[in-house]
Amino acid sequence: MTAPRTRTADALDVALALANPAPRPPRSPEPQAGHDPAASADPEASASAAAVPWDEARRIAADAGRDAARHAEAEAEDEVEELPLPGALGRRLAAPLEALSDLPAFDTAAMDGWAVAGPGPWRLAGSGAALTAGRAPRPLPDGRAVAVATGARLPAGATAVLRSEEGIAEDTAEDGARLRARHRDPDHGRDIRLRGSECRAGEQLLPAGTRITPAVLGLAASAGHDALAAPPLPSVALLVLGDELLVKGRPTGARVRDALGPLLTAWLPELGAEAIAAPRRVKDDPEALREALAGAAEEAEVVVTTGGTAAGPRDFLHAVLADLDAELLVDGVDVRPGHPMLLARLPHGAHLVGLPGNPLAAVAGVLTLLAPLLAARNGTDARPDPEAPLVAEVPGSGSRTGTRLLPAALGPHGLEPLRYHGSAQLRSLALADAFAVVPAAGAPAGAAVPHLPLRWGAA
């Protein structure tokens, strides 16, 4: 994707290139640009001993999603809804999509010109007015031609379409209007879309479970459907933790804006899930968190929390999960950012994805745990990550271990890591096309590395 270069070139130039020296932020004594305080404070010291390798965390999340799919399958039948076409977008087909008619439903002109019957020259039928799309034509006797527009239903007896640029129509005194081919007669069947050449009525076009994309809506409409049957998407309850978070206005005093409520709410449909409600704000208080989690687990298949995953004085997630007898499937992942992310199974079967509070770390948590969980829940097989060369060196991360996920622009020469990749920073993410997956030791320019595409696309 090269568009960000042209559309947002200035912003991208600022964000590009890990190796470039960072501009000094205005009126701020804080270091910036890859020297995010949260990222440079060495969390190794208190990192969970149970942290699993990044790939394994993704596998565990996908396994959990498959479990959830088996569980959901039993209940899905009662919940299938018939949705008018636009409303079914993003869901999955409950049943195979069948064609309700032949496609095309009739022989159709593929070009503007004349429908001809048999070899030329031809007598031009009718008043000379063209058959246009939507009109039912009368049969065309042998030796006749009639003007047609692209998409028009062809008359019975038509053997080919002669394109307008290939034919010469002239009025003759003795015989009325005549048509001849400029060079040679069209071959039999030329520029005719035959009835049923795309599909026959009753034919299966797509299997059950296919994601309903704009293309699927178009195909369903072409094939005669007004509505599609689809079970609801997995439901997600979003709990945003942190007394310091503001929901509007500028960051003031010691308080910051909640970035994750808006980001995650908007991302869920693309991840194949539906939020049950607006993000719920939860106080930094263990009892409030316990109640919120227990309530959310009753209402939603997946509970997503933000913040409170670490071991700070106001981080209560671990304690509350223990109190609820949750089973921790992943407790910390060997990845930066996003290290303290977690995945748990709550007592009545709902899954909980605990995203770190630092916003870029939370996004890493979505890609590592939530996306594989939901994809597998929706029956999507994991595909190998695409690879692309790094256009610039990524230096090693010193004493730190773990896979690194770096927001990157994907251009014609490969992946260009972006500068603002600190775990509290979203500036580069907003311009990124993908996360480059880089080992802790770093990688030289030109090395092919896997990447996780951001399907929303920054272009």
Ligand X SMILES: Nc1nc2c(c(=O)[nH]1)N[C@H]1C(S)=C(S)[C@@H](COP(=O)(O)OP(=O)(O)OC[C@H]3O[C@@H](n4cnc5c(N)ncnc54)[C@H](O)[C@@H]3O)O[C@H]1N2
Q: Which residues bind ligand X (CB under 6 A)?
A: 38, 43, 46-47, 240-242, 244-245, 256, 258-260, 306-310, 312, 315, 337, 339-340, 356-359, 361, 423
Q: How far is the CB of 384 from ligand MOO (least distance, A)?
A: 25
Q: How far is the CB of 358 from ligand MOO (least distance, A)?
A: 4
Distance CA 148, CA 112 (A): 6
* Burial class for 175, CB neighbours closer than 10 Å (0-12, 13-18, 19+): exposed
CA nearest neighbour of 60 among 351, 256, 309: 351
Give whichever of 139 and 312 is closer to ligand MOO, judged by the CB atom: 312
Angle made by CA atoms 25, 30, 36, in degrees to the nearest 5: 95
* Burial class for 41, CB neighbours closer than 10 Å (0-12, 13-18, 19+): exposed
128: left (phi over 0), alpha (psi -120 to 50) or beta: left
Q: How far is the CB of 335 from ligand X (least distance, A)?
A: 10
Is the distance from CB of 377 to CB of 356 less than 8 angstroms? no
Q: Which of 306, 358, 368, 378 binds ligand MOO (CB under 6 A)?
A: 358
With b for 16 or more beta-carbon neighbours within 10 A and e for fewer, the 179-202 pattern comes to: bebeeebbeeebbbbebbebbeee
Verify binding: residue 337, ligand MOO, rule CB under 6 A: yes
Give whichever of 207 and 251 is closer to ligand X, judged by the CB atom: 251
- The partner in contact with residue 443, picked from ligand MOO, ligand X, none with C-beta cut-offs of 5 to 8 angstroms by kind, is none
Verify binding: residue 260, ligand MOO, rule CB under 6 A: no
Q: Which of 11, 17, 22, 38 binds ligand MOO (CB under 6 A)?
A: 38
Give whichever of 358 and 380 is closer to ligand X, judged by the CB atom: 358
3 state SS of 170: strand
Give whichever of 54 and 122 is closer to ligand MOO, judged by the CB atom: 54
Q: How far is the CB of 328 from ligand X (least distance, A)?
A: 15
Q: Which of 120, 137, 332, 338 binds ligand MOO (CB under 6 A)?
A: 338
3 state SS of 291: helix
Verify binding: residue 351, ligand MOO, rule CB under 6 A: no
Dig out the tokens for 305 from the structure.
């929390």
Verify binding: residue 359, ligand MOO, rule CB under 6 A: no
* Residues in contact with ligand MOO by the rule CB under 6 A: 38-39, 336-339, 356, 358, 361, 423
